[in-house]
Amino acid sequence: MAGFRLGVAELAVILIFGIPLVAILGSFAIAALKILRGSSSRQMSAEESRLVQEIHNSLQRMEQRVDALETILLERDRWSDREGARR
């Protein structure tokens, strides 16, 4: 089976919609935990803070990975354009 390749445009669309989707799902997860746990407000506040920090850190790492991936894809695209122009 031939490998499945995504073009730069397809990958950009996936990444553009992926980051906000993760943030929205994280918000729903926090709300669900808040409803399901039903614990004291002080304890929940501390847990909420921890979860928000964890999501924030994860999103920052994801943003760095997306930036690196975009750089790699753009460089590869430029490289292939140069190779195509030489032929």
Let me know if residue 1 belongs to a domain: no
**Domain of 37?**
14-86
Let me know if residue 3 belongs to a domain: no
Let me know if residue 36 belongs to a domain: yes
| Mean pLDDT in residue range 51-71 | 90
Q: What is the pTM of this model?
A: 0.47
Residue 60 has pLDDT above 60, yes or no: yes
Let me know if residue 74 belongs to a domain: yes
Amino acid at 55: I
Structure confidence at residue 1 (pLDDT) = 45
Phi-psi category of residue 43: left, alpha or beta, with phi > 0 → left and psi -120 to 50 → alpha: alpha
Residues 6 or more apart in contact with residue 6 via CB below 8 angstroms: 14
Domain count, the chain: 1
Each residue's pLDDT tens digit, 11-49: 777 778 888 888 888 888 888 887 777 655 566 678 888
Residues 6 or more apart in contact with residue 77 via CB below 8 angstroms: 8
Q: Is 4 exposed, middle or buried (0-12, 13-18, 19+ CB in 10 A)?
A: exposed
